[in-house]
Amino acid sequence: MRDFPLEREGSKVKVVVGAELSAAIVPELRDLLWAIQEDGVTDLALDFSQTTLLDAAGIVLLLAAHTSFVGGDRSMRMVAVPRNIFSLLETLRLRERLGAEIG
């Protein structure tokens, strides 16, 4: 099981994604994100500062998490996104939807 470092301050949580967000990682991160959602978090930031790989399964997870999490007073964003991943999200027209901020 992988460890996803996180910082929590009240209802705000920042999760460090790690080196890759790929099919191998998705189940564990999905479980963590669902637990965070159930724990009263209203502001979720996914830190991509260490991430070098984002595959199709990772993108599907991000879209599912966004759809499930965002609404009402809850928000989710991607922070410290490396230029190559940011560019991919722009190409797929997902940058704004996923709240990606270049790092």
Q: Which range (2-6, 57-61, 77-81) has the least confidence?
A: 2-6
1 pLDDT more than 70: no
pLDDT of 3 above 90: no
Query: Which phi and psi angles does 24 have, rounded to 5°?
Result: -70, -25
For residue 80, give every residue at least 6 positions away whose Cβ sits within 8 Å of its Cβ, in sequence order, or none: 47, 48, 49, 101, 103
Give residue limits of the domains in the chain: 6-102
pLDDT tens, position by position, 30-60: 999 999 989 989 999 999 999 999 999 999 9
- What pLDDT is recorded for position 75? 96
pTM, two decimal places? 0.94
CATH number at 6-102: 3.30.750.24
More confident of the two residues 95 and 2: 95
Q: Is the pLDDT of residue 83 over 70?
A: yes
